[in-house]
Amino acid sequence: MTEPWSGQELPPAAAARMAEIRASGTWGSALSTDEFAAIRSTGFEPVGQVLGAAVYNVGYTGGYGCPSYSYFGSFSRFQPMMQVGYGQTAVSSSGGNAMYGPLVQTMYAARRRAIDRMVAECAALGGHGVVGVSLTIGQFPAGGLEFKAIGTAVRAPGAPPLRQPFTSDLSGQDFAKLIADGVVPVGLVLGISIGARHDDWLTRGQSRWGAGNAEVTGYTDLVSSTRHDARDELRRDVARHGAEGVVIQRMDLRIGERECPAQEGARDHTAEVTIIGTAITHFRRSERAAEQPSLAILSLDPQRRQAARVRLGQNR
């Protein structure tokens, strides 16, 4: 039996686990040996494995209309598409019920809630941040989607606690490289977008077998527009964190297809792009900037040295 939980703060089971870890004086991690050594080399040490999870029921997703019909309001389902012209790609950030905006906002909210709970566990263990974060999404057996964030909390002994522990999906080795270069992770950032496009007469013609080797411009526009929108959302998230930039670890693209709700027998294609990265900023000037680049004076390849002698007339 667990205590009633309002959904705020840590779940009772998680709070009990944190207390047990602190009392035991031991820690666990998802680090490899190399990651552990790399993190220790920067002055950090692991304090425990941390987890955040959230199960969401996705009811209203948006996207019930057809984006092409939204852009061409005068279109009648009895008109041939050739009379309408080319279709356009609609992305989730553009607003409107046909653009999957409610679904994207739910995906943001669920991931961020899972991350916040993982960060709360890190703070409960006295950690300064979480490295090697893995963000996953999967079907929940009882219905809905489970969003999970898991990583290893680390701390710098003797350093004051942070108001907000950092999060990073970088490996232990990559984290050590950043710290050595005067860069610190700020937090996980996300860029999510869903684009939809009605298959117009041009797209159908270009994708037929008889069209030969030709670009399907409608599909190119769908993928390009959705990727661009996801990157724009990522840029906004980096700015919200007050970071200088972002290093990207994952960019996923999923293509879907559905029957057009506005025209019988027609199809719509969808593209879902998810970008996950770590926002970063400098805490000191990099010492590598003052280093001079290496200068090659003598080749170690004997054949190259012989060829150079021949060119100089010194074949001996």
Q: What is the pLDDT of residue 302?
A: 72
Q: What is the pLDDT of residue 117?
A: 93
> SS3 letters for the chain?
CCCCCCCCCCCHHHHHHHHHHHHHCCCCCCCCHHHHHHHHHCCCEEEEEEEEEEEECCCCCCCCCCHHHHHCCCCCCCCCHHHCCCCCCEEHHHCCHHHCHHHHHHHHHHHHHHHHHHHHHHHHCCCCEEEEEEEEEEECCCCCEEEEEEEEEEECCCCCCCCCCEECCCCHHHHHHHHHCCEEEEEEEEEEEEEEEECCHHHHHHCCHHHCCCCCHHHHHHHHHHHHHHHHHHHHHHHHCCCCEEEEEEEEEEEEEEECCCCCCCEEEEEEEEEEEEEEEECCCCHHHHCCCCCCCCCCCHHHHHHHHHHCCCCC
Fill in the amino acid letter for 11: P
Q: What is the pLDDT of residue 72?
A: 44
Residue 197 counted as domain residue: yes
Residue 174 counted as domain residue: yes
Q: What is the pLDDT of residue 86?
A: 52
Q: What is the pLDDT of residue 85?
A: 42
Q: What is the pLDDT of residue 88?
A: 79
186-220 confidence digits (pLDDT tens): 999 999 999 888 887 777 777 777 777 888 888 88
Higher pLDDT, 20 or 173: 173
Closest to 279 (Cα-Cα) out of 164, 126, 153, 157: 164
| Sequence-ordered list of residues with C-beta below 8 angstroms from that of 159, at least 6 positions apart, any chain | 128
- Count, residues in the chain: 316
For the chain, what is the domain count? 1
Q: What is the pLDDT of residue 228?
A: 95
Residue 297 counted as domain residue: no
Q: What is the mean pLDDT of the chain?
A: 82
Residue 55 counted as domain residue: yes
Residue 140 counted as domain residue: yes
288-300 confidence digits (pLDDT tens): 555 555 545 555 6
Alpha-carbon distance of 293 to 113, in angstroms, equals: 45
Q: What is the pLDDT of residue 196?
A: 86
The answer, yes or no, to whether residue 93 has pLDDT greater than 90, is no
Residue 309 counted as domain residue: no
Residue 86 counted as domain residue: yes
Residue 96: pLDDT band (50, 70, 90) is low
Q: State the residue for tokens 């080797």.
A: 213
Rg of the chain over all Cα atoms, to the nearest angstrom: 26
Higher pLDDT, 242 or 26: 242
131-181 confidence digits (pLDDT tens): 999 999 888 888 888 999 999 999 999 888 888 999 999 999 999 999 999
Q: What is the pLDDT of residue 173?
A: 94
Residue 115 counted as domain residue: yes
Q: What is the pLDDT of residue 82?
A: 41
Q: What is the pLDDT of residue 76?
A: 37
Residue 78: pLDDT band (50, 70, 90) is very low
Q: What is the pLDDT of residue 149?
A: 95
Domain membership of residue 226 as a residue range: 12-286
The answer, yes or no, to whether residue 79 has pLDDT greater than 50, is no
Q: What is the pLDDT of residue 13?
A: 81
Fill in the amino acid letter for 280: I
| Sequence-ordered list of residues with C-beta below 8 angstroms from that of 208, at least 6 positions apart, any chain | none
Residue 238: pLDDT band (50, 70, 90) is very high
Mean pLDDT along residues 274-301? 70
